[in-house]
Structure 1
């Protein structure tokens, strides 16, 4: 099973690289990028900036074709497609790679990254974030380029939540990641894995009682039309990255790799700064749509999650400590 998967990935990488080598002067290397975000979303714009910068830096010899709104599939489907070369770049959170290696779930560990300032320290050149990305490449076979701060994940709910005890019996949509299931089980909710593109209808139909996502996703997906509350738990400070198949990426010419890394980091850094401006407006936008903002006892949520770390192996726990201590003297 593993050998077959590796073989397919290697063949896809070789086929694309061979085509680029033969036609460098005539035909550009075309890379298919995918996001579940719509074209006007900030992270789609990050992809657009990336595509434009790479095209300019390579004199049109590397072209990134963007696909939006989940047109090529869900996050999981497009990541799987990286193995076969039907997509080459996915704009998504690193936690979605946890089915390939459990350590990737660290990107979604609760209260790991404190705020934007801490995020910048974690992700600075030579920092623990880069070491984490390198480890994911080694373990899971994915190249991660850049890091774009999405802001805190918050809850959209049918009823107000002020403390962990209020979560009892709450059917909460979570991404299909082990770390999210473990987090919300520890807090006392009933986590229900579901693709992001299905959440709105599930809320409307009462299949689930709540969902959690960064506020930009609450607004983009119009959760407020289905449920009236947003609970400011801030349980994960999430970030996006450009995800490549590592075998494919590492077989590209070195100069192409350098451009993809440099421009990817710049595009994600731009997205982080733009998101900081937008985050200041999101609560007001939600309130205009009739949303009731609830500020729960976050300290109680943190305390309830303390035992979660003990469910993970020693190396995972070491990474938690490295992230949490980043920037401390």
Structure 2
């Protein structure tokens, strides 16, 4: 392409009405969206991605970051990918389950056992990459990178030690089938709600509890509304960069390669940052008056064992493939 630039320039001088700059010389602007505020770690992951992509392309590819849900909630921004008004969404894989149920395995309970299991899953050529490829084929979304968020825990108005304690508890869940099925089986009353509405709902008593990684508990100030954090560790979720597959594949191949390489690197950096920060999150919650409860996790796992049978055979096979890694 570089060797062709003088030819294009000469043509442009002779035929200005027909002159078109080669794709590699044109600036490509991509709009990225996150519901996290600018100072949040996952916003910084997006910033890092944008910086590295700009460096690698000599400023030819610009990623504009939008924070704090200013372009819509998670579901709205994912929908906007298909219309091209948003190009990249930083969000959990499970948010795509309304497009294909397979994506719901991104938040299947106790499927990702710990950080070592997570790393094995998303090693180059691992089951995680095959999972991403399958989602792209089924749902039309290109997923790049996997950023470990830390386990999801409960923020609750009351102490919870076993699943029996969940009876009658109104539990906010993301509007995803896997979350609804999980908490319904555990005995709570799952209440789908956008994350940006949770703080007010907890304050007003519309819901009794919510679940999220500790980083999100602090970011959303749940501790101002409820007094307990129940360390259920029921999901080890992960963020990714979500693109519309057709729009991504329409980009120049060299740009695609850079977006993939730097996206993986940015999410790996986010994983390292969250692992360093996790112990401090629990300390900060205690300093803010929260009571940390260690429940009977084995009882939670046992209560959720029948969940697998609710899924079709192909998804059960994927569950088994995830579980087999590292065994």
User: Common fold, TM-score beyond 0.5?
Assistant: yes
Tell me how far 1:24 sits from its aligned partner: 4.2
CA distance in 2, matches of 1:36, 1:251: 26
> Which consecutive unaligned segments of at least 5 residues does structure 1 have?
1-20
Provide closer, same or farther for how the CA distance between residues 26 and 132 of structure 1 changes in structure 2, counting only shifts above 3 A. closer
In the alignment, what sits opposite 1:195? 194
CA distance in 2, matches of 1:86, 1:229: 40
Aligned pairs, how many?
308
Structure 2 SS opposite 1:234: coil
- Matched with 2:72 is 73
Asked whether the 8 Å contact 2:75–2:95 carries over to 1, the reply is yes
Contact 1:32 1:88 (C-alpha < 8 Å) held by counterparts:
yes
Equivalent position SS for 2:235: strand
Q: Hey, what's the Cα distance between the residues in 2 that align with 1:326 and 1:25?
A: 41
Q: Which has the larger radius of gyration?
A: 2
Question: What's the CA shift string for 1:111-168, capped at 9, x where partnerless?
Answer: 0001111100000001000000000000000000000000100000000000000000
Other structure's SS at 2:155 match: strand
Cα shift at 1:178: 0.2
Contact kept? 1:173, 1:211, Cα under 8 Å: yes
8 Å Cα contact 2:122/2:128 also seen in 1 = yes
* RMSD over equivalenced CA pairs, Å: 1.0
- State the shift of 1:213 in Å: 0.3
State whether residues 169 and 190 of structure 1, in contact with CA within 8 Å, keep that contact through their aligned partners in structure 2.
yes
| Whole-angstrom distance in 2 between the partners of 1:127 and 1:327 | 11
| 1:24-44 CA distance string (max 9 Å, x none) | 476511000000001111100
Q: Please give the residue correspondences for 1:131-142 in structure 2 after superposition, counting only pairs within 5 Å.
A: 131-142=130-141
Q: Alignment partner of 1:78: what SS?
A: helix
In 1, the alpha carbon distance for the partners of 2:24 and 2:115 equals: 43
How far 1:325 moved relative to its partner?
Answer: 1.0
Q: Which residue of the partner structure matches residue 161 of structure 2? A: 162
Mapped contact 2:23–2:252 kept (Cα < 8 A) = no
Whole-angstrom CA distance in 1 between matches of 2:176 and 2:262: 29
Q: Which runs of 5+ in 2 are unaligned?
A: 1-19
SS at match of 2:46: helix
Q: TM (normalized to structure 2)?
A: 0.93
